[in-house]
């Protein structure tokens, strides 16, 4: 990997935490795929575009972008070697030819200047220790007039289904391990829209910045038992007692539907443009 400016995140995403994401890539993709329509509507990828997918993980959105950019190409950049191994294997298995991946810290990686028409991210831009530096770096990677489109979590209030559904998990299971905690803290770093605008407009010079709320449903498992299996698989340490497990399942039962355990949540869709497009 090239220079790393975020060693704590590099450690988490290359350790057991990142390995869990790689092993359960399908589950994580299903969990958040409800945001895809909004993300790709915001990105407005055209057939000849060169697309950069920031924090691409196992590359689900990189491959969608590559299919949309049928005469162009998509590059996924991520700090996690295990997730990129999975991305490359899935890309080969799906036979998508116009895709490449790079293992790098997107905050400081030397992208080809003006090398991309569009930069997208599904939840991969919150982990930068220095957001302003990172978004300036991404702006340099975009051609003048190039587009940025990403989704990131919105702050959840006490009425949020996700907060309510997982309250008991916190109470019964205690604090998460340090890598999970580091990722969770970073995950919330752009949840305030004022902060997003400050980073993109004041500290960087993107134009046409729009921060729109998007309602989504996150999908946690086929049923409550399956969702609890997945959530417990993220923990290390001693197995939980049978009565604890049963209580956790009961807490998710109200959210079971015919299409799995679904929780209503919300994300921000952020779109912006790198200044300097030539006038037609």
> Two tokens at 64?
């969608």
In the list 17, 69, 78, 190, the residue contacting ligand SAM (rule: CB under 6 A) is: 78
In angstroms, give the least distance from the CB of 68 to ligand SAM.
Answer: 16
Establish if 252 lies at the interface with ligand SAM (CB under 6 A). no
In the list 13, 101, 135, 268, the residue contacting ligand SAM (rule: CB under 6 A) is: 13
Establish if 65 lies at the interface with ligand SAM (CB under 6 A). no
C-alpha to C-alpha distance for 264 and 217, rounded to whole angstroms: 4
Establish if 83 lies at the interface with ligand SAM (CB under 6 A). yes
In angstroms, give the least distance from the CB of 34 to ligand SAM.
Answer: 11
* 36 vs 244, beta carbon nearer ligand SAM: 36
In angstroms, give the least distance from the CB of 39 to ligand SAM.
Answer: 9
Judged by CB under 6 A, the stretch of 52-60, 189-197, 200-208, 227-235 that binds ligand SAM is 52-60
In the list 68, 74, 79, 87, the residue contacting ligand SAM (rule: CB under 6 A) is: 79
Site string for ligand SAM, 99-138 (x = CB under 6 A): ------xxx--------------xxx--xx----------
* 29 vs 217, beta carbon nearer ligand SAM: 29
Site string for ligand SAM, 26-45 (x = CB under 6 A): --xx--x-------------
Establish if 268 lies at the interface with ligand SAM (CB under 6 A). no
The 3 state secondary structure assigned to the chain is CCCCCCHHHHHHHHCHHHHHHHHCHHHHHHHHHHHHHHHHHHHCCCCCCEEEEECCCCCHHHHHHHHHCCCCEEEEEECCHHHHHHHHHHHHHHCCCCEEEEECCCCCCCCCCCCEEEEEEECCCCCCCCHHHHHHHHHHHEEEEEEEEEEEECCCCCCCHHHHHHHHHHHHHCCCCHHHHHHHHHHCCCCCHHHHHHHHHHCCCCEEEEEEEEEEEEEEECCHHHHHHHHHHCCCCCCCCHHHHHHHHHHHHHHEECCEEEEEEEEEEEEEECCCCCCC
Establish if 55 lies at the interface with ligand SAM (CB under 6 A). yes
> Two tokens at 274?
């790198």
Do the strands 116-122 and 50-54 form a parallel or antiparallel pair, or are they unpaired? parallel
CB atoms within 10 A of CB 264: 14
Judged by CB under 6 A, the stretch of 56-64, 138-146, 228-236, 238-246 that binds ligand SAM is 56-64
Residues touching ligand SAM, count (CB under 6 A):
24
Positions in the binding site for ligand SAM (CB under 6 A): 6, 9, 13, 28-29, 32, 55-57, 60-61, 77-80, 83, 105-107, 122-124, 127-128
């Amino acid at each position: 990997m090239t220079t790393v400016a975020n060693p704590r995140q590099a450690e988490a995403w290359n350790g057991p935490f990142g390995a869990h994401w790689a092993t359960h890539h399908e589950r994580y993709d299903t969990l958040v795929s409800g945001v895809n329509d909004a993300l790709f509507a915001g990105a407005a990828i055209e057939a000849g575009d060169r697309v950069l997918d920031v924090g691409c993980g196992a590359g689900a959105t990189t491959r969608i972008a590559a299919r949309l950019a049928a005469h162009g190409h998509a590059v996924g950049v991520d700090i996690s070697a295990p997730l990129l191994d999975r991305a490359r294997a899935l890309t080969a298995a799906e036979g998508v030819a116009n895709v490449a991946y790079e293992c790098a810290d997107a905050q400081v990686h030397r992208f080809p200047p003006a090398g991309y028409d569009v930069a997208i991210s599904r939840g991969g831009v919150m982990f930068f220790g220095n957001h302003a530096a990172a978004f300036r770096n991404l702006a340099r990677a975009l051609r003048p007039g190039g587009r940025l489109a990403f989704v990131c979590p919105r702050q959840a209030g006490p009425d949020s289904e996700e907060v309510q559904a997982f309250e008991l998990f916190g109470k019964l299971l205690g604090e998460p391990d340090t890598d999970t905690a580091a990722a969770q803290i970073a995950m919330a770093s752009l949840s305030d829209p004022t902060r997003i605008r400050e980073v993109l407009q004041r500290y960087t010079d993107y134009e046409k910045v729009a921060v729109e709320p998007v309602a989504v449903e996150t999908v946690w498992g086929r049923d409550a038992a399956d969702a609890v299996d997945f959530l417990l698989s993220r923990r290390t340490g001693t197995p939980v007692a049978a009565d604890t497990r049963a209580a956790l399942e009961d807490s998710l039962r109200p959210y079971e539907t015919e299409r799995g355990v679904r929780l209503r949540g919300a994300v921000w869709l952020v779109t912006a443009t790198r200044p300097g497009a030539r006038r037609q």
